[in-house]
Chains A and B, each alone.
Chain A
């Protein structure tokens, strides 16, 4: 038995369908228009909504938009009752299913049953994957936090107990060490939170909040920040064209920061790290290349495979959640991540977005990519 909200402005049809559903054992709440229906959805927390499209006032599309816009109801199964002419518009609006009027009782019950079964399966799968992620986060986080925390706890303890014995330069150096470790912790915590949020959005199908428009500054600024953190501004080579990237500013900055940070971390001082942004064909291509330790084909394969937290893989090169985050953001914004790497030669990470909205100059990277 399921709890349903049935919204239709035709009283006769509403009552008949309500009877059919109730006789099949469902608990039915009837609503005579869109506004009443929406209120019933928010009040009753049903398992599924069946809704007419053409109604005075708030129509079926409006009801669906309001339901999808509210995180509390966004994933609620929604079935339209529609005429043939409205089918295409209904499909585009994001409903889960469509029933053509006139509706036979058996068809209505079958559609609802199918939707409920699919919903239960999706719920079960989402719970399983979230459970996996939760366990992995719980297992990995203490490990990831340990190193910077050890620095802070050890240094602060020394300073608290023996501060009278340290000179000003020593105190300054100790404070600098704690600050660096704390900033690392901060970034780690932010990354975990963002990664969890992205996984949630992917699993729940909630909207697409990450689109937007970014440009060269969202590449230059974090690249410089990463270089500055490693005190290697002289090694940074920027080749950033005036290209628009279809991704929110904060997310492009995060992608560049994480990749550039790895590039500096795994290459020696004096070796260049090149950061470029170009259009290649119809794509915006961000490329960050270092001449560092590189990775074997096997290591690249493993980096490319991660989708979930995986302690073994992350420990492989100490890459933390950063690269997982890059991949999650790229995929959530229609991008693709490619990694070219050779041991002792270096690594090139490329993120490519192609969705027809890319604007900007074209150049010779066509042949390079």
Chain B
């Protein structure tokens, strides 16, 4: 019986989401204290992280992968 399911690219998704949530939160709370360059930098970081999630989704990077049964090789 197949015993385990691997969520292959869970970590990159979490990392990108952390980047977006953190940067958007900063912008929302402290936007008045940021200079123009800082706002541009934060927006660029958010954009990059969002595009990376988009690429992962398009590549089906986040998916459920059955691990082979006991005694069988993954190949």
Chain A residues within CB distance 8 Å of chain B: 3, 45-47, 71-76, 119, 122-123, 126-127, 130-131, 133-134, 137-138, 141-142, 145-146, 149, 152-153, 156-157, 159-160, 163-164, 168, 171-172, 174-176, 178-179, 182-183, 185-186, 189, 192-193, 196-197, 199-200, 203-206
Contact = CB atoms under 8 A, between A and B. Distances in A.
Interface in B1-34: 1-5, 7, 10, 13-14, 17, 20-21, 24-25, 27-28, 31-32
A176 B5 contact: no
B3 A204 contact: yes
Contacts of B64: 130, 133-134, 137, 196, 199-200
Nearest to B14: A189
A306 to B, nearest CB: 17
Interface of B: 1-5, 7, 10, 13-14, 17, 20-21, 24-25, 27-28, 31-32, 36, 39-40, 43-44, 46-47, 50-51, 53-54, 57-58, 60, 62-66, 69-71
A197 B63 CA distance: 12
Q: Nearest 6 A-B pairs (CB), nearest first?
A: A175-B27, A175-B28, A200-B5, A159-B43, A160-B43, A156-B47
Contacts of B60: 138, 141-142
B70 A171 contact: no
Contact of A153 (B21, B31, B32, B50): B50
A156 B27 CA distance: 11
B52 to A, nearest CB: 10
B7 A145 contact: no
Contact of A137 (B3, B21, B27, B63): B63
Given A127-B66, A152-B20, A175-B24, A75 B3 contact: yes
22 contacts: A72-B70, A119-B1, A123-B1, A131-B66, A134-B64, A137-B64, A138-B60, A145-B57, A149-B50, A152-B24, A156-B44, A160-B44, A163-B43, A171-B27, A171-B39, A178-B20, A179-B24, A185-B17, A196-B5, A196-B64, A197-B5, A205-B1
A127 B2 contact: yes
Nearest to A186: B17
Given A137-B63, A182-B21, A189-B62, A168 B31 contact: yes
A259 to B, nearest CB: 24
A185 B70 CA distance: 35
Contacts of B46: 152, 156, 159, 178
Contacts of A160: 40, 43-44, 47
B5 A130 contact: yes
A137 to B, nearest CB: 5
Contact of B28 (A75, A130, A176, A205): A176
A135 to B, nearest CB: 9
B47 A200 contact: no
Nearest to B46: A156
A156 to B, nearest CB: 4
A192 B39 contact: no
Contact of B70 (A76, A164, A183): A76
Contacts of A153: 47, 50-51, 54
A250 B28 CA distance: 29
Given A46-B71, A157-B47, A179-B21, A189 B1 contact: no
Given A123-B1, A123-B69, A142 B57 contact: yes
A100 B7 CA distance: 43
A72 to B, nearest CB: 8
Given A163-B43, A185-B20, 8 more contacts: A130-B66, A137-B63, A138-B60, A142-B57, A157-B47, A159-B39, A171-B39, A200-B5
A46 B70 CA distance: 8
Tell me which of B3, B4, B58 has the highest count of chain A C-beta atoms within 10 A of its own C-beta.
Answer: B3
A203 B13 CA distance: 26
Nearest to A200: B5
B2 A123 contact: yes
A2 to B, nearest CB: 9
B31 to A, nearest CB: 5
B20 A182 contact: yes
